[in-house]
Structures are given as structure tokens and as C-alpha cells.
Structure 1
Amino acid sequence: MCRILLLLPEELVHSIFSYLAYRLEPRMHCEPPELQYEPDSTDILSLSLVNRQLRRISLPFLFASLRIRGLKDVKKLMDQGPLFSKYTKTLILRMLFLLDEGRMEILCQSLPHLKRLACVDIRSELNFTLLNALHEHPSVSTILVASTQKLPKGSVDLSKVVVKQSALSNPSHSWLVPRMERGMKVSQLLIRRPELFTNEFGLRTFEGLCELDLLMRHLPVTLSWLPEFTAAHPYLKKIRFIDERNDFFSRHTLPLTSSFVKEVSNKQLSDAYSTIRLSITRPAICSTSIEEWRVTGLTIIIRSSLIEILSLLYSSFPEIQTLRLEFAGRSTPGLAYHIDDVIAVLRLFSSLEILALHCSFKRLHFGRRKLWCALPRVGNTSQLEAPSAANIAEAGMLWYTSRFVQRIPSLQAFDIHEEAYYDEEFGCSGRWFVKGWLNVLNAPSGSREVVGTLNKT
């Protein structure tokens, strides 16, 4: 690879480094699951050791992001000052409670030397001294904070602060108003009791809002305020409807899902599934009508008729990007589905990027053939014994996911969760788990491979 890079124009090498500088990682505490890009310097660090040319090209990527977790990292910032000063754009601060007053002062005094610093992501409590230092920095435009609880108390300037998530349980958000009047922005808003919200709430504005989560309960919800609310928030791109207790979607129907619910009812399949989470995304060109938003994420519980349910989903929501399938109850031979039949339907979803499978191993089959090979386990006497149920499930899911990616070109990742009792017949003796994320790697040969490790407990 290095020889090829040295033969390419430098502009093209820079583009390749831009691709290598990030990796897709699962977004934490997000359901349906999503992926996001995170900085990754592993490959670029190796390439920077090849020669001076690649070293020069790699430096802006290696020092673009800086993490500080304590005094040791503060000293690193001072020792490598010229490089950080020239290239660092993002500063990630964690565990600031480890810094005493003197060390915090050293950190604040170092900030002006980061000439290109634009964003500071604070993943612990933000104190008044640091907030003032960041506000005085001329190039810093964004200070990311996890929640309002992490902000210092008092009437402080919040014009650069973006709170990642804030929650409302009541339409009257008076406790947020003073902070927003001082310039605070909110990126993600969680509404805990949407049944209390009326048209008046549609007139409220939250500067910087990108995502809206509605925690649905058993009570009916009026969304008449939503069109005006979305029109007032041009950066709002995603809305999630979360039904954790399976109380809402089993009793009520949203306008966006009415056609699907009707078709399922006509096919007498209403008892075959349950919807528990739904994500909608605003198209690039969209009027104020919420009807033009698209369903792009879905979590459903499957009890039976998987192929029929997936076919109806495609008819109603062809633009799904993330799909989570949770299989309910104990597996029975009559409720197992040939993997190629499942693939035949899923490949219709041309935008499908993430497939999450929960307790699916015994619900899939490949006829009478089992082409995976589980590793044997070491017994108490150091003798090899038959593979455990967890090892068999792990091997089977790795084989199934590999078959999925060979036939569904849009897939980028899997979220796998398998669990069962050690004694499945009587449902006792504890449980085993196999879970984790698997990513799809496009190999140089043109093939697609599943990479990653599933954790077994």
C-alpha cells in the first residue's frame, strides 16, 4: 500500500488519509441503533513512519483531535505545544475532577496556544474557570456538554455551549428558559410525557435542536403541534418515538404508520409483531408537513410470519436504514426461517445499513446444513469437550452475518444479541449471553467480510 501511495498525487493521498482518519462506531444509548464517525489515528500513525512525505501529510490528522484525562495529558499538551498549536481543532476533556486548582490553571493557560481550536467536548463537569477561558478563546465556537447538570451554576455566559441532551416532562420548560436566554443551545431533546403537549408547544424554539425523542406511554398523544415545531427548527433532522413498555403502538397508530397497520390488519397479522421504536428522518427537500418525513429506523418484536411482516414493511417504509428484529418467546421448529428467504426480502431495502438481531440464531436455518464450526471448550480436566451453546451461537451468527453481507451490499454493521438459559428445557441454571457489534469490511479483492468480536458471558 505504501508504494502505491508514493506514486499518487499528493491531493489524492490527502483524500485517502481523510478516509482513514475516522471509523464507524456504534452510537451509545441510541435505539434503534445508529453508527457515527469517530477519530481513528491507528492506520495514519503507521503510515507516518514510512518517510518524510507521508509524515508531513499525516501530521494534521494525527494532531487534529486531542484527549485530556489528567495531569499527564496536560503535560503532553505543553511538551508537544507547536504541533498541537498548528493542527488541533477538537479538544476532548474527561475526568476533570482529577485536576486540582493549580493543574486546572495550567490547562486554561495552555488553551490560547491552540490557535486552530474550534470545538471542545467536555465529558465531565464544567467549572466556571474553564468556561470563562473557553469563552475568551477567539477560535472556539462550540463547547459540547453532556447535560445541563454539568454546567456551572449562576448567571454565566452560555453563548458557545451546546448541551448534547436535555429532557422535558412538562410543556412548561421554564427552568430551561434562563439558560437559553444566555445563549445555550440544545442538540437533542427528550420529551418524557408527550401526551401533555399541545399546540402551544409548537411555538417554542430550541436553538440548535437536531434530534427529538418522544417517550410514548399508554395514553393517546396528539402531534398537532409537531408540523409547526419542525418548521421552526430547520436543523431538526430526526424524531424517535420510543415505546419501551409496548403500551403505545399496540393501542394507537401514528399517521405515518397508518397504511402499514391497515395492511397488517387486512392480512390478519396484527398479533405477529409489535413495534417498540420508530425513527423518522426529514428529507433534504421537505415542506413543513410531517407527512413528508420518512421512516428510517424501526425496532419490532417478531412472534411469527417474519417474511410476510418484512414484505409489508418494505411496501410501506422502503427507505429504512436501521432495522432491529427481536424474536419473542422460545424457538420452535415451525417458527424458523431459511436465511435466504430473509435475505431475499431484506435486500429490497436499498438503504439498509444496520441490521440488529436479537435472539435470532435459533430462528434462522440453512436447511439441514450447518456450515459453521464452533470451537470446542476446555473442561475441568483440561480435556476438550463439546462446544458450549454460546460457542455454537457465536459461530452460527458469524456465518449468518457473512451470508447477509455477501447478498445485501448496503449493509455496514450488525448488532448481535443472543441469550438463553443453560438449561433451556426448564428455564433455569443461569443464562449465557453472546453480544456485540460486527462491522463490514470491503476487502481489496472486492469481497465483503464481517469483522469484530462477540463477547460471551
Structure 2
Amino acid sequence: MNSLPEELICKVIEPLAYHPSHGFDSVWHQQLKFRWVSDELRSLSLINQQIRRICLPLLFAYARVSVLKKLEAHDYSSQSPLSLTKHLWLNFKEFEVSDSENFSLLRDALPQLGHLSWVDMTGVQAPSGALLDMIQKYSASTVIVAGIQSLPRNRAFLDLSRITVLDADHPQSHTPRSVPASSSAQTPNVCRLHSSGCDRVHQVYRGLRELHFHLVDVSPMPWFLAFTSNHPLLSTLVFNFFDRNVVGFHHLPFLHSFVENSHQVEPGKFCVVQLILIRTCLTTDSSITRPFQGWHVSEMEITICSSPIEILALISASLPRLNRLSILLRTGHDCEYEFDELINVLGRFRSLQGIDSGGLFSFVRELPSTEQLPDLLRPVDLDTLMAKVQSRVHRFASCIALAVSSLQSFSIMEENFPIHDYTCGLYADLDVRSSDRKVTGQLFRFGTLDREWSLE
């Protein structure tokens, strides 16, 4: 590797540096992934001096400050890891920085962080105007705040173009601009916008990446083409339907096939909770007649009040390219099914990468166990019980992963998972090994352990 150009080595190492999905918010700038350093990067940094020199700026790009007084003891020389900091997360109470000594410590530290690009203040509930003003005066960084409500009412003295708002979800406190997106007007970047329908859709938000709809009624969207044209960075649409029936969804062109196929299913058997669309290409001339061209239904969350096989068959026929599927089975309904049927229907999804299961594994119909469990009679041996639960869930999940070749992960939340004479709540995040399609990951129990029948 030493014979390779250093630029090429950097290109190989950078994609391995950070966990892609460990808490990283999709609407944040990609540079803000510095917080989630991967184990691979730590291991690479130990190989030799050249690799370590490449890894160090990635390892120390993120720093967190929770106690301001500790800033006094830090070394800010060129040899210090702090000289590599690009993303500084401030996590303290506002009253702490109102102290003049603490205020001075932060003011003196900022100019010494020569590579600083981002000051993350999402951990400060209500930063004062004085604090924001000081940061902008002593650092050229972009300031990130949690929401519009985090900004002071009097913003005239702030450079709003250097402020990024993570969530614009308080329309009463926000006066967005209504000028073309190319304008240099003083407005903050807005990463994510929440809307209840057609409100605020005729305005332009600089830097918008994600739009959330919270819909009570589903109506046509004639404004959508102009809105997406004005927001070239917009990459994600989230539709929250509040457990809606598909009646009325015909207004949404990307659901035409789903609505037509749903007529084959008895009403009331399922409700759509959420849909997520991702942008696959920019607006084109043909989008005038097809405004959702270039958008792909990536994720669906659904509540099922019957056996899931019929509903999953409907979804796979209408939206076979889903990337993630979240399923909640409502208890109190006849939801039992044969496991082979589930394998067959999930195998029809061609791009499914993740499954969120809420009750899906609790309703698998199996033959009664003939295994003798003397240790489980009284008192209950929880270790033995949980080992059997984990074995059963891993077996189910691994069979599904084998049938769905694109699957990478499971998220499981089962409130009443049956195991012999007991039910228990459990949750887990499981990963699929690409080598043998087996799942890995520990299951955790929550709530009480209940018997399904009395011992008396």
C-alpha cells in the first residue's frame, strides 16, 4: 500500500471512516457524520505512520464540549488533536455560558480551532443572541440550531446565511422568504420542513433537503412541480397519514397502482401510516405532465388488522422496489399465518433492505413444542427462556434474509412474543451477514413475563 499515491489511499479510507446509519440524520450535511467514527478507521490508523497521518484528521474531526470550564485546560497548539476539529458540538445549559468567565473561555477557544466548519448547537435549548453573535464574530463556521424557535426574536444583528436550522416545524414563529431560490437574501438554511398540506408550499426555503407532510385529508398537489424546481437540494418527501385508509390516495400519482390493487382487499384490513419518497433525478421537461417523475417510493409503514400475507402480496405487486418496510400487526385480530407463506411473499420484493417488525414474528403458526423444559416450570429460568427466544427469532429472520437477497437489517419490537407457555416483550436490531445470510444481534426483553395459562 505504501507504493500507492496518497490521494488514492485517502479515497479508499474515507468511505470506511464513519458508520453510515448510526444515528446520522439524513438531512444534515454529509460533513456532520464525523461524530460516528467506525471501528475500521480506528484499526486502519494502527497500520503504519502514513495511514495514521491520513486517519488522524478523520478521527479527531469531531469534538464535544459539555463543561465549558474544561476549555481552559486544553492545548490548542498545532500538535493538538483539537487543531483537527471540524465539527464542534456544544452541549450545555444556556445559563452556563451567561457566566462571564465561561463566555470568555468559549470566545477565546473558537479562533484557535483553525479547521472548524460547523458549530453544532442542537444541544443548547435556547441559545441567546449574545452567544450566537459571539460565535459568528470569533469563528467563520456555520452554526446549526435545532429549530426556528431556537433563534432569538431579534435576528437583525445575525448573519442568517451562516445559520442552518435542522427543523422548521413552528410556522407561527417563522417568516420564510418568498423570493427565488437564487436570491442572496439573509435567511437561514432550512434542512427539514413540516407542513400540514398546502400551507407554506408557495415559499422558498434555502437549502431544503426534506419535506414532511402531516395529512388529515389527501388532496391533489398541483403546486408540487414548482416547489421541487425551486428546491434543487430537496431529496426526501415524508407523507404521514395518521393510520389512513387508502380511500383518497388516488390523488397521489405514485400510488395509483397501489390504490387499484387495494380494491381486491376487504376494507379495514390495513391502514397506511407513512410513505417516504426519495428523489432519483432532477426535474425535467416531461415532469410538467408527470410531476412525480424522478421520485421513488422508498419506504412504507403500514398497520395490518388481519393475516399479513394478503396485504404484503398487495404491496409487493404495487411497490416491488421498496427499500424499507415497517409492519405493525394489531393484536386482537386473526393475524396468524404460515411461515412459508411469509417467505414466499417477502421474496417478491426486489430491493428490500430493511424490515421493521411490530408483531410480525409473534403470529407465526407453529406446531406445539414437544421439548421438555423442566427448568422453566417454577421459578422461570430467564436465561434459558431468552436463549430459546433468540434462537427462534434468529431462525425466522435468517430464513427471510435468505429469500430476500437485498435484505441488510431487521428492527424488531414484539410486545407479546410466544415461547412455550409464556409471552414476553422483546426488541432487537439485527444485521444480516452477506456471507451466509444469517442474522446477528442480541435480543432484549422488556415488560413482564406472563404465562399464557394458569398453573392452578
Unaligned runs of 5+ in 1: 31-35
Deviations 1:254-285 (A, max 9, x none): 422132111120x2344432211111222224
- TM-score, reference length from structure 1: 0.78
Q: 1:259 to 1:408 in 2, by over 3 A?
A: closer
Maintained 8 Å contact 2:148/2:170: no
Residue number in structure 1 paired with 2:161: 159
**1:19-98 alignment runs, 5 A limit:** 19-25=15-21, 27=23, 39-49=36-46, 51-71=48-68, 74-75=71-72, 77-78=74-75, 82-84=79-81, 86-97=83-94, 98=96
Residue number in structure 2 paired with 1:33: none
Q: 1:70 to 1:440 in 2, by over 3 A?
A: farther
Deviations 1:303-350 (A, max 9, x none): 335334333323322321111011122475x72132x44334334433
Residue number in structure 2 paired with 1:126: 127
Q: 1:373 to 1:362 in 2, by over 3 A?
A: farther
Q: 1:80 to 1:121 in 2, by over 3 A?
A: same
Q: 1:7 to 1:363 in 2, by over 3 A?
A: farther
**Residue 6 of structure 1: how far off its partner (Å):** 7.2
Q: 1:39 to 1:407 in 2, by over 3 A?
A: same
Maintained 8 Å contact 2:208/2:231: yes
| Residue identity opposite 2:392 in structure 1 | G
Q: Does 1:117 align with 2:116?
A: yes
Residue number in structure 2 paired with 1:337: 338
Q: In 1, distance between residues paired with 2:390 and 2:309?
A: 24
Q: In 1, distance between residues paired with 2:58 and 2:376?
A: 44
**Residue 291 of structure 1: how far off its partner (Å):** 2.8
Q: Does 1:409 align with 2:413?
A: no
Residue number in structure 1 paired with 2:202: 203
Q: In 2, distance between residues paired with 1:78 and 1:43?
A: 28
Maintained 8 Å contact 1:241/1:277: yes
Deviations 1:391-410 (A, max 9, x none): 65444223322333334332
Q: In 2, distance between residues paired with 1:101 and 1:239?
A: 44
SS at match of 1:263: helix
Maintained 8 Å contact 1:85/1:116: no
SS at match of 2:292: helix
| Residue identity opposite 1:447 in structure 2 | D
Q: In 2, distance between residues paired with 1:449 and 1:409?
A: 12
Q: In 2, distance between residues paired with 1:49 and 1:373?
A: 51
Q: 1:285 to 1:452 in 2, by over 3 A?
A: same
Root mean square deviation, CA, Å: 4.0
Q: Mean Cα displacement is larger for which, 101-110 or 397-406?
A: 397-406
Q: Does 1:452 align with 2:454?
A: no
Q: Does 1:307 align with 2:313?
A: no
Q: 1:58 to 1:96 in 2, by over 3 A?
A: farther
Q: 1:174 to 1:113 in 2, by over 3 A?
A: closer
Q: Name the count of aligned residue pairs.
A: 423
Q: Does 1:187 align with 2:191?
A: yes
Deviations 1:92-144 (A, max 9, x none): 2212444443123212221112222222221213333442243235652x322
| Residue identity opposite 2:274 in structure 1 | R
Q: In 1, distance between residues paired with 2:433 and 2:193?
A: 34
Q: 1:174 to 1:419 in 2, by over 3 A?
A: closer
Unaligned runs of 5+ in 2: 27-31, 180-184, 447-456
Q: In 2, distance between residues paired with 1:435 and 1:417?
A: 4
